[in-house]
Structure 1
């Protein structure tokens, strides 16, 4: 959805993240809902017609420019977009059940009618058109009210990873600028998009941060403020961590085997919390269906939460949460110089497939951005 020239944004659903969705089901209301007449021109876009490997990405110059269907929507001219690992996973079909349920809650559509599907999570651009009920934005605004100190490319790199990290740290983890000073924080996967943002937020709130990454990323995470850096390739992680003091908070964007040992390094019976961004929720829905998938997920998270509670620590799952107010807080930190975007590479719009391959290979050092305008 980031890889179009324009896109639709709903203020109440996605709040200024430029995390937008096209309307596939509902028809426009009869009453006038937009500040301008509906557009009938086409635009370039990268789409997929089926799920699969990178070869399914297809360029078209005949994608219809979106129309405003509801009076609380705006249309954005996209200047830049960024690619997240979830975009690569969705190209292969990850989360298709949940995506189709959101698009078609009554399950009226036939399987496969989500295509052609445009991938992408977050963008930066300029408001072209507003619905009649929109008050927060006006045509010409750079969104999501873009930090004044950033280019569109830099701004496009932030929303998805920033709100994912913010939800894990603040909403789920309960940390903020008033209670974080002196807290010992461990970040697993510290050199990726979420990790590089999380380091900066925790340091802005005066926490002590230990970052886990590979040796070639150590200079980057130190520049971002990490106090201690551990190279996960240099030996047994548990052996390296046992010489450090216990942690108050662990953010895990790696998952897998880390969950079996990471919680042992939290302070026991002190409110210490482990938050993982790796959850089986969408996988369960894809594999088992909506009802059984949600049930299985509930059983899994409930059993793990209870197990670790009796061991004196809190176990939590976190995920992306769209929030305009959170983005406003993040923009203030950016303009104050406390957070800077970390971009590893920028691709032109014509090279979107190469950008996907870059993200698919992993070992990120910040974000991958696509310049659209």
Structure 2
């Protein structure tokens, strides 16, 4: 997590969902790619030099500031960032194979080449510099044209969880504002970052929402609009759910054993869909390599999809999808007062390791944010 970030931004959106680029690139061609000259200065950042527990996080004041390597990139001065469970998992090495390929699509990095690695996916800040092909942003913009009603901390809490939930509900689940009224929706893991956003967007589309969380989070999810709340700690989940009407859509951000019973509570032969965010995709690639990992993933999801299709329901996996247009839609809901950021705790930049520990302990009540500026 650093003070500045190089990002690829497309269209106007709520905030930047960005990835550090530590790529090996050829010397730039004669054509300029940036609106300003490169600056040989340093910045403060939290980095890791190896994968491991929280002790691997290291603070440095001598991280070279990022440079624009491609004409569609911008440099952002980060005002706030949020931490997601995947950031904690990445600190421990989860998804390293696939994410290294993402950082360096020209060739797969040799193990260890990615260090020092700066973690972090969500930011809100101000554009400092633009590549020559950037048309939707200019220096001084609060990226990505965040809703004016939000602070940088609030804006930084939304993109990753919002786009993950939007991908699951809209892109994979096929639900939107025109077909959701009256649909019965079950959200497993309702008090976390994805869950608190999902409740709000489903209620904005007039669905009936049943939220599963612990009893101490019930007041929060009811305030966000949940119609029914089930405490997963108060008894057997299956026993509690069997007294409710079947569901049209289930969003599962918990995984584990939930997959073995949750699909039984969908309406059969009516197009009802179960979408899980907990998949073995990145683990397969870490364990088996890119080719074999993708093959194993395809076999797994294909067999499960077919099995549940013959039982009258749809089984799907969903992932985070970066999308400027989706963020535009989300920003409209924010400006309309139908979506509000849910922030459990804000840490100063000096306390980044404590913020990681907070997320690692689980039982989230919304998002954990780091104030950088």
The bucket for the TM-score relative to the shorter chain is over 0.9
Unaligned stretches of 5+ in structure 2?
none
Give me the whole-angstrom Cα distance separating, in 2, the residues matched to 1:205 and 1:118.
Answer: 37
CA contact under 8 A between 2:162 and 2:197: conserved in structure 1? yes
Cα offset for 1:102?
A: 2.2
Give me the whole-angstrom Cα distance separating, in 2, the residues matched to 1:241 and 1:10.
Answer: 42
Give me the whole-angstrom Cα distance separating, in 1, the residues matched to 2:19 and 2:144.
Answer: 10
The verdict on how the C-alpha distance between 1:3 and 1:128 changes in structure 2, with shifts beyond 3 A counting, is: closer
CA contact under 8 A between 1:10 and 1:20: conserved in structure 2? no
What do the CA deviations read for 1:164-201 (whole angstroms, capped 9, x no partner)? 00000000000000000000000000000000000000
Cα offset for 1:5?
A: 6.7
The verdict on how the C-alpha distance between 1:119 and 1:176 changes in structure 2, with shifts beyond 3 A counting, is: same
Cα offset for 1:29?
A: 3.1
Cα offset for 1:31?
A: 1.4
The verdict on how the C-alpha distance between 1:231 and 1:347 changes in structure 2, with shifts beyond 3 A counting, is: same
CA contact under 8 A between 2:6 and 2:67: conserved in structure 1? no
With the length of structure 2 as denominator, give the TM-score of the two structures.
0.96
Which deviates more, 327-336 or 99-108? 99-108
The verdict on how the C-alpha distance between 1:12 and 1:19 changes in structure 2, with shifts beyond 3 A counting, is: farther
Cα offset for 1:100?
A: 1.8
The verdict on how the C-alpha distance between 1:235 and 1:6 changes in structure 2, with shifts beyond 3 A counting, is: same
The verdict on how the C-alpha distance between 1:149 and 1:371 changes in structure 2, with shifts beyond 3 A counting, is: same
What do the CA deviations read for 1:41-95 (whole angstroms, capped 9, x no partner)? 1000000000000000000001111111111111100000000000000000000
Cα offset for 1:103?
A: 2.9
Which deviates more, 9-18 or 262-271? 9-18
Cα offset for 1:109?
A: 4.1
Cα offset for 1:28?
A: 3.0
The verdict on how the C-alpha distance between 1:47 and 1:24 changes in structure 2, with shifts beyond 3 A counting, is: farther
Alignment of 1:286-297 (within 5 A): 286-297=286-297
Give me the whole-angstrom Cα distance separating, in 2, the residues matched to 1:311 and 1:297.
Answer: 22
The verdict on how the C-alpha distance between 1:319 and 1:143 changes in structure 2, with shifts beyond 3 A counting, is: same
Q: What is the root-mean-square deviation of aligned Cα atoms in Å?
A: 1.9
Cα offset for 1:127?
A: 0.4
The verdict on how the C-alpha distance between 1:90 and 1:368 changes in structure 2, with shifts beyond 3 A counting, is: same
Q: Match for residue 40 of structure 1?
A: 40
Q: Match for residue 3 of structure 2?
A: 3
The verdict on how the C-alpha distance between 1:114 and 1:13 changes in structure 2, with shifts beyond 3 A counting, is: farther
CA contact under 8 A between 2:72 and 2:132: conserved in structure 1? yes
The verdict on how the C-alpha distance between 1:250 and 1:180 changes in structure 2, with shifts beyond 3 A counting, is: same
The verdict on how the C-alpha distance between 1:291 and 1:201 changes in structure 2, with shifts beyond 3 A counting, is: same
Give me the whole-angstrom Cα distance separating, in 1, the residues matched to 2:107 and 2:324.
Answer: 30
CA contact under 8 A between 1:153 and 1:370: conserved in structure 2? yes
The verdict on how the C-alpha distance between 1:108 and 1:162 changes in structure 2, with shifts beyond 3 A counting, is: closer
Unaligned stretches of 5+ in structure 1?
none
CA contact under 8 A between 1:188 and 1:252: conserved in structure 2? yes
CA contact under 8 A between 1:127 and 1:143: conserved in structure 2? yes
Give me the whole-angstrom Cα distance separating, in 1, the residues matched to 2:372 and 2:5.
Answer: 7
Cα offset for 1:354?
A: 0.2
Cα offset for 1:24?
A: 3.8
Give me the whole-angstrom Cα distance separating, in 2, the residues matched to 1:342 and 1:178.
Answer: 26
Cα offset for 1:262?
A: 0.2
The verdict on how the C-alpha distance between 1:156 and 1:72 changes in structure 2, with shifts beyond 3 A counting, is: same
Alignment of 1:1-373 (within 5 A): 1=1, 4=4, 16-107=16-107, 109-373=109-373
Give me the whole-angstrom Cα distance separating, in 2, the residues matched to 1:175 and 1:99.
Answer: 29
Give me the whole-angstrom Cα distance separating, in 1, the residues matched to 2:301 and 2:110.
Answer: 32
Give me the whole-angstrom Cα distance separating, in 1, the residues matched to 2:136 and 2:101.
Answer: 29
CA contact under 8 A between 1:51 and 1:91: conserved in structure 2? yes
Which deviates more, 99-108 or 163-172? 99-108
The verdict on how the C-alpha distance between 1:234 and 1:13 changes in structure 2, with shifts beyond 3 A counting, is: closer
Number of matched pairs = 373
The verdict on how the C-alpha distance between 1:274 and 1:208 changes in structure 2, with shifts beyond 3 A counting, is: same
What do the CA deviations read for 1:277-333 (whole angstroms, capped 9, x no partner)? 000000000001111100100000000000000000000000100000000110010
With the length of structure 1 as denominator, give the TM-score of the two structures.
0.96
